[in-house]
Structure 1
Amino acid sequence: MARKLTITALARAAGLGVATVDRVLHDRPNVSPRARMQVAEAAARIGYPLPAALRGAATGDLAEVTLGFVLHKRGQPFYQRFAAEIGRACAARADLRIRPQIRFSPSQAPDDFAKEIGALAGDCQAIAATAVNHASLSRLAGDLARRGLPVFSMLNDFAGSSGSGYLGLDNLRVGRLAGWMMATRLQAPGKVAVFVGGTRWHGQAMRDTGFRACLRDHAPRITVLDTAVNLETRAVTYEATLDLLERVPDLSGLYVAGGGMEGAIAALRAARPPDRLTLIVNELTPDSRSALADRYVTMVIATPLEQLCTDLVDQMVRSVLTPGAKRPPPRKPDPLLYLPESV
Structure 2
Amino acid sequence: MRRPTISDLAKASGVSVATIDRVLNGRHRVREETARRVYEAAQEIGYHAIGLLRQRVFEDLPQYRLGFVLQKPMQSFYQAFAREISVAAAAATTAKLQVQIEYPPVSTPSAIVEKVRTLVMRNQAIAIVAPDYPAVEAIVEEFKEKGIPVFSILSDFAAGVRAGYFGLDNRKVGRSAAWTIARMARKPGKVVCFVGSHRFHGHELREMGFRSYFRENAPEFEVLETMVNLDTVDVTHETISTLLQKHPDLVGIYVAGGGMEGAIAALREEKRTGDITLIVNELVPESKAALMDGTVTMAICTPLPALCRELVAQMISSIEGNTQATARQTFFPFEIYISENI
TM-score (structure 2 length as normaliser): 0.83
Separation (CA, whole Å) in 1 of partners of 2:104 and 2:326: 29
Q: Which residue number in structure 2 is paired with residue 331 of structure 1?
A: 330
Asked if 1:225 is matched to 2:224, the reply is yes
* Residue 188 of structure 1, CA deviation: 2.6
Check whether the contact 1:127–1:152 (CA below 8 A) recurs between aligned residues.
yes
Q: Which residue number in structure 2 is paired with residue 113 of structure 1?
A: 112
Separation (CA, whole Å) in 2 of partners of 1:168 and 1:118: 23
Asked if 1:263 is matched to 2:262, the reply is yes
Separation (CA, whole Å) in 2 of partners of 1:342 and 1:39: 44
Separation (CA, whole Å) in 1 of partners of 2:170 and 2:161: 20
Separation (CA, whole Å) in 2 of partners of 1:247 and 1:165: 43
The 5-angstrom pairing of residues 1-343 of structure 1 reads: 40-42=32-34, 60-186=59-185, 188-325=187-324, 327=326, 329-343=328-342
* Residue 43 of structure 1, CA deviation: 9.6
* Residue 123 of structure 1, CA deviation: 1.1
Check whether the contact 1:87–1:100 (CA below 8 A) recurs between aligned residues.
yes
Check whether the contact 1:315–1:330 (CA below 8 A) recurs between aligned residues.
no
Separation (CA, whole Å) in 1 of partners of 2:112 and 2:266: 31
Separation (CA, whole Å) in 1 of partners of 2:165 and 2:327: 12
Separation (CA, whole Å) in 2 of partners of 1:40 and 1:173: 43
Separation (CA, whole Å) in 2 of partners of 1:222 and 1:324: 46
Matched letter for residue 183 of structure 2: T
Cα separation, partners in 2 of 1:122 and 1:225, compared to 1, 3 Å: same
Check whether the contact 2:164–2:326 (CA below 8 A) recurs between aligned residues.
no
What SS does structure 2 have at the residue aligned with 1:156?
A: coil
* Residue 41 of structure 1, CA deviation: 2.9
* Residue 273 of structure 1, CA deviation: 3.8
Separation (CA, whole Å) in 2 of partners of 1:208 and 1:301: 14
Check whether the contact 2:274–2:294 (CA below 8 A) recurs between aligned residues.
yes
Check whether the contact 1:180–1:214 (CA below 8 A) recurs between aligned residues.
yes
Cα separation, partners in 2 of 1:325 and 1:169, compared to 1, 3 Å: closer
Separation (CA, whole Å) in 2 of partners of 1:187 and 1:198: 30
* Residue 201 of structure 1, CA deviation: 1.0
Separation (CA, whole Å) in 2 of partners of 1:136 and 1:165: 18
Matched letter for residue 293 of structure 2: D
Matched letter for residue 311 of structure 1: E
Matched letter for residue 40 of structure 1: E
Check whether the contact 2:168–2:333 (CA below 8 A) recurs between aligned residues.
yes
Identity of aligned residues (%): 43
Separation (CA, whole Å) in 2 of partners of 1:39 and 1:290: 50
Separation (CA, whole Å) in 2 of partners of 1:40 and 1:210: 48
What SS does structure 2 have at the residue aligned with 1:180?
A: helix
Across the two proteins, how many residue pairs are aligned to each other?
A: 297
Separation (CA, whole Å) in 1 of partners of 2:172 and 2:31: 38
Check whether the contact 2:234–2:262 (CA below 8 A) recurs between aligned residues.
yes
Q: Which residue number in structure 1 is paired with residue 26 of structure 2?
A: none
Check whether the contact 2:298–2:338 (CA below 8 A) recurs between aligned residues.
yes
* Residue 199 of structure 1, CA deviation: 2.0
Check whether the contact 1:197–1:259 (CA below 8 A) recurs between aligned residues.
yes
Separation (CA, whole Å) in 1 of partners of 2:32 and 2:157: 38
Check whether the contact 1:139–1:162 (CA below 8 A) recurs between aligned residues.
no
Matched letter for residue 227 of structure 2: A
Q: Output one character per residue of 1:189-247: Cα deviation in whole Å (capped at 9) or x when no partner.
A: 21111111122112101101101111222211011001111111001100001010011
Q: Which residue number in structure 1 is paired with residue 9 of structure 2?
A: none
Matched letter for residue 291 of structure 1: A
Check whether the contact 1:77–1:285 (CA below 8 A) recurs between aligned residues.
yes
Cα RMSD after superposing both structures? 2.0
Separation (CA, whole Å) in 2 of partners of 1:42 and 1:202: 46
* Residue 184 of structure 1, CA deviation: 1.1
* Residue 105 of structure 1, CA deviation: 1.0
**Larger CA deviation: 197-206 vs 225-234:** 197-206
* Residue 116 of structure 1, CA deviation: 0.6
What SS does structure 2 have at the residue aligned with 1:182?
A: helix
Check whether the contact 1:311–1:330 (CA below 8 A) recurs between aligned residues.
no
* Residue 94 of structure 1, CA deviation: 2.0
Check whether the contact 1:299–1:338 (CA below 8 A) recurs between aligned residues.
yes
Structure 2: stretches of 5+ with no match in the other structure: 1-12, 15-29, 37-54
